[in-house]
Amino acid sequence: MELENIVANTVLLKAREGGGGKRKGRSKKWKEILRFPHISQCVELGKTIERDYASICEKQPIGRLLFRQYCEIKPNLQRCIQLLDAMEDYEVTPDEKRKSRGEQIIKTFLSKQSPQRVDIAEVFAERCRENLELSPCKEIFSECRKAAHEYLSGAPFADYQNSMYFDRFLQWKMLERQPITKDTFRQYRVLGKGGFGEVCACQVRATGKMYACKKLEKKRIKKRKGESMALNEKQILEKVNSRFVVSLAYAYETKDALCLVLTIMNGGDLKFHIYNMGTPGFEKDRVQFYAAQICCGLEHLHRESIVYRDLKPENILLDDNGHIRISDLGLAIKVPDGENIRGRVGTVGYMAPEVINNEKYAMSPDWWGLGCLVYEMTAGRLPFRARKERVKREEVERRVQEEEEEYNDKFTEDAKAICRMLLTKDPKQRLGCNVDRAVGVKAHSFFKNINFKRMEAGIVEPPFVPDPRAVYCKDVLDIEQFSTVKGVNLDQTDNDFYSKFATGSVSIPWQNEVSEHHRILKN
């Protein structure tokens, strides 16, 4: 039995490394799979595609790349793109170098004397110069950036749509819309269990890209009346585009299951690292780093009016490089504008007092959850329940509602302060729940060493990098198998639901995948 696990792990590691051959895990037929359709086949798509500048030229990776290639052939547009890049670089420049970087941008792109000046940005030169002298904050060029995008979204965007670059974009969009089936992927070992089925590693045959495939068994969904929950998770994952939340790349169906193909996180979950890697808990720099990234992920979810409601260490996963993402959005829900919701959901020990009391709330349970995580990562135990303590749910909930958490000498003053503010029982007084929201949490002294702009750009080095030769999950035979579902028949109504679910590729992750694939080929 041990041999079965060794074989499964060896095959997975080989796939993660690209299979050891020149094709980097790609199928022999990858060129055929990714062959562009003739432009004449894209005419109908050209008529129906939404012609939105922000979506096509900023958000979609291939669209952004092709629009920039178009701008490169026109010197005035090229300078505009160079200015946008310089302003983006300014925002992630370390504080001590920001002033000189800002001065360089003004001199190069906003000064009348410069041969590289951008005409539409000249009017902002004096104001940017004055603000830079007062305080070199990150927002100095925000008006200038807005003006540059407004200019590009006018005549340049209209002209781009009549160019060969836009034709190429339509060809990519046709490829993106190819049907997705189980044959799109190779399947590898089981990594764990979800609520409705197994999670296994998989690899896209065309590109060699590794993912995690979360299988939702059709009969199990129907038996548990889980259709709305499954569709809700899929739609939320589809909507969120954040480097701190797992991405949905594909949604498809097989005869027996609905499948969500998600970012693979090879580094294990925070629960494993807190309790199985030496003394329980982390050093302060790791706690700060993970808490900052979780804070960014929550901010991105909340920006879409989504409350997560299940923050706990096993739902925070590490990637190959040591960055984290929030996973398992099964309990997440969109909060209607201007309203609060009610719902007694979550995990015992992590649920906020207002959730336990079945009171109405918006985003407040997530900031309580962050407080629980900062506490647990520091102390190596939950704030209201000791590790492996055998205690009834009702007792844990009583402690959450009535008792104050205790702090040992592992907590710095800053760590104590942020935990107390996040674990405030009244949500109206809790950090993150007033008008400042995530900005207020990020401004706390606990995060004084974190540059959030650099964190959001993915250029802060993680304090810990997982071992690339390790498989951070249970042995194959230790992952309990699901029993067969009996007495459930699938009918046409179910097929209508499956068609809403199995929508194929998701634009941004798919475009990132094929862009990365083509970049590898060029290297």
Which positions are catalytic?
Answer: 310
Map residue 417 onto helix, strand or coil.
helix
Helices and strands (DSSP H and E) totals, the chain: 23, 10
Q: Return all residues near 392 (Cβ < 8 A) that are at least 6 apart.
A: none
CA of 278: how far to CAs of 162, 282, 312, in Å? 61, 9, 20
Q: What is the DSSP string of 341-372?
A: B----S-TTT--HHHHTT--BSSHHHHHHHHH
Distance of alpha carbon 330 from alpha carbon 315, whole angstroms: 11
Structure tokens of 187? 């399947």
Distance of alpha carbon 66 from alpha carbon 164, whole angstroms: 10
Neighbours of 313 (CB within 10 A): 20
Distance of alpha carbon 174 from alpha carbon 294, whole angstroms: 35
* Residues 207, 30 contacting (CB under 8 angstroms): yes
Could you give the angle at the alpha carbon of 343 between the alpha carbons of 240 and 496, nearest 5°? 60
Distance of alpha carbon 270 from alpha carbon 206, whole angstroms: 32
Binding residue per annotation — 223?
Answer: yes
Query: Where are the alpha helices (H) located in 34-92, listed in sequence order?
Result: 43-48, 53, 61-71, 75-91
- Summarize the annotated binding site for ATP as residue ranges: 223
